[in-house]
Chains A and B, each alone.
Chain A
């Protein structure tokens, strides 16, 4: 009965209801859509960070993180490997790497790079490099002299496929070890900084160059999804002696991304509030109008014995219906627009350098996150009903005599 009454009441003035509903729809749409846009941006930032050789969990020799030199590599990776085999949940993948700062040089240029020695087959299933080679080929298992460099690095060094590149780095005897490689593949990455930073060789080649037997710098682990990461990391910490090994999750490995993530929730909540306040004024005003138009009606109802509480309930029911329709349409609209953009994404290429500077991808794919949607709807609903209490209370307080005298 209440619902029906409310429903009929809001359609007594279709234009007014439509206008305020459009305000609610745009508001809800902007909340969810902008939320999805920024969430997409954050997700890509996290995914990029993880794919750019971070992985979900990393295991290092104790002290390596503070002093990433080859001396601090794991001398007996077998110990770690057996632990991983037995402890990691099924579906988890991992790989071992050598990672050291090195100097790359050719006849014309020299510059600093990060030399990464990889197990080509395992690495391809874990980080971006497996799919990133655009010219030439990926490393083979026995590629003693092959090296993969980024497009930006190749341009900076004025070199190309098939040319030589000499790498130098400090070896385990604290001498400068150097080795000549031939560029077998050129890779592209989301960030130009990644293309400039990394040069990939096989694990074996790196171990020869740096004079370490079986030593590795890090083990990178990728899980089927991000939820269990902390649990697994904790489990590994228990299994590996902390005096020798350090286990870090991606949140610790990418502190900047993690800081962004925690800021993000606050930011989006503020955006929701601001949009709500903007439409809140409209909701209050429209409801007030609807109430004042019906002063006589309320007076009559009261004179007939209706309790004030019923009137409050009646007015709130009207707001409720309005909000339900507005949020429903807003949700549908935002889902549709996110869906429409999920294929092509939002292209920021014209700001490529700016996006790079801010650490975001060139193409943003909006991502709907249930938490954001629930929060947006809750904000609109709860606050929407709260602000409607004011006109509702106003309506309930008319005394019958006053109200009936009102024209």
Chain B
């Protein structure tokens, strides 16, 4: 065995230039894949986190059917009880209550139909980014009643500023008319136009009073300690809730149920990325196939000699495979190291792709993007490269088995 390894190693260095070029090609492909996959995974993380922080949280408890229909009466009747359950569940970072109602909101000059969201100011701040994106005025305090936070775009459309009054007109949970007057206390800009254009936030207690919610809410929103912990949390919470309340079915939805578009968008992006990478590796494979082939053909005579002195064809194949695998391995290792170093640099400093800000902002990605190294992003690419190069190397390695010693000796 050791002799075989030594032979393979020396064979590689019989033509250093060629071997180095081949290994560089492999390293290049590996590096690129490590970087690109880290970059993609990093942007998915940012997308998920910002969507989770602004809209949905990691997990929500809702009345069954509310997610699709958004009907006022599909409420969680006793949010406190759910809160107690969440308190007892491990890995929950924070949770809050929300209630939503589509209503007419009028300023002195303008009227728009938007969603009024009731929030628990103290709890909301620990779950969502709302408090951090207030640009003018201030966030709601726990003693506020008829105060409101409003998106910057909506404020512009309604032509209101801080301290202006808004008349809210909607329908309560029981079908009664819900009306109130609120004062603009803060103006926020989350960067996501749709969100900044379509909602105002008022204190939950005031919301419940105005919309006759009888203490109910529409969403109990929870944030887990990490994305990975969510499936376990979901299972635990769902188990407890089912036993507790059989009459009024409540459902537990995780961020994937809440944002199917985001999940599929990520899948689509990942798959189209993988197709590109696959094509790229195939191009690399053909690029290096020649090196592998040549290293066999220029040594035909040598193989003839080896066979004549009794080397089994299987052993020749083994040595050849060792040779190409060693080159691949060196290329991959160099590629991974270089890939990690480059990715790590950008992970610390971030990448600004000029001209993208407008595009990425809508997906909730900040202008400066950070790739993120992870076990998967480091291993997927190299595994693909290894697999395809191995297939490439098989062809010449198996070809050598068909050599006839006499003919081989006669070749030049």
Residue contacts A-B, CB under 8 angstroms, 18 given: A16-B294, A19-B286, A20-B286, A23-B283, A69-B109, A103-B104, A169-B111, A170-B110, A256-B362, A262-B355, A263-B356, A263-B359, A282-B286, A285-B25, A286-B290, A354-B264, A357-B262, A357-B264
CA distance A112 to B102 in the complex (A): 8
Q: Which 6 A-B pairs have the closest CB atoms?
A: A282-B287, A354-B264, A23-B286, A357-B261, A281-B25, A103-B113
Identify the interface centre among B156, B279, B283: most chain A CB within 10 Å of its CB.
Answer: B283
Map CB proximity to A onto B269-293 as digits: 1 under 8 Å, 0 otherwise.
1000000100110111011111101
Partner of A26, one of B17, B276, B282, B290: B282
Residues of A within 8 A of B71 (CB): 108-109
B24 an interface residue at 8 Å Cβ cutoff? yes
- Asked whether, in the complex, the Cβ of A356 is within 8 Å of the Cβ of B261, the reply is yes
Residues of B within 8 A of A353 (CB): 260-261, 263-265
CA distance A266 to B355 in the complex (A): 10
Partner of A354, one of B112, B198, B265: B265
Residues of A within 8 A of B293 (CB): 15-16, 19
Residues of A within 8 A of B123 (CB): none
- Asked whether, in the complex, the Cβ of A282 is within 8 Å of the Cβ of B113, the reply is no
A174 an interface residue at 8 Å Cβ cutoff? yes
- Asked whether, in the complex, the Cβ of B287 is within 8 Å of the Cβ of A23, the reply is yes
Map CB proximity to A onto B283-307 as digits: 1 under 8 Å, 0 otherwise.
1101111110110001000000000
Instruction: Add 8 more A-B contacts to A102-B113, A358-B268 (CB < 8 A).
Output: A19-B290, A30-B280, A67-B110, A169-B111, A262-B355, A278-B284, A282-B283, A354-B263
Nearest A residue to B284 by beta-carbon distance? A278
Instruction: Tell me the dominant secondary structure on chain B's binding face.
Output: helix
A355 an interface residue at 8 Å Cβ cutoff? yes
* A to B contact number (C-beta, < 8 Å): 160
Partner of B290, one of A20, A108, A277, A352: A20
- Asked whether, in the complex, the Cβ of A278 is within 8 Å of the Cβ of B28, the reply is yes
Residues of B within 8 A of A358 (CB): 265, 268-269
B54 an interface residue at 8 Å Cβ cutoff? no
Partner of B288, one of A102, A110, A260, A282: A282
Residues of B within 8 A of A274 (CB): 32, 280
B171 an interface residue at 8 Å Cβ cutoff? yes
Q: How far is the CB of B208 from the nearest CB of chain A, in Å? A: 20
A-facing residues in B80-124 (Cβ within 8 Å): 102, 104, 106, 109-114
B379 an interface residue at 8 Å Cβ cutoff? no
Q: How far is the CB of A224 from the nearest CB of chain B, in Å? A: 29
Residues of A within 8 A of B374 (CB): none
Residues of B within 8 A of A20 (CB): 286-287, 290
- Asked whether, in the complex, the Cβ of B265 is within 8 Å of the Cβ of A271, the reply is no
- Asked whether, in the complex, the Cβ of B109 is within 8 Å of the Cβ of A174, the reply is yes
CA distance A170 to B169 in the complex (A): 14
Residues of A within 8 A of B267 (CB): 351, 354
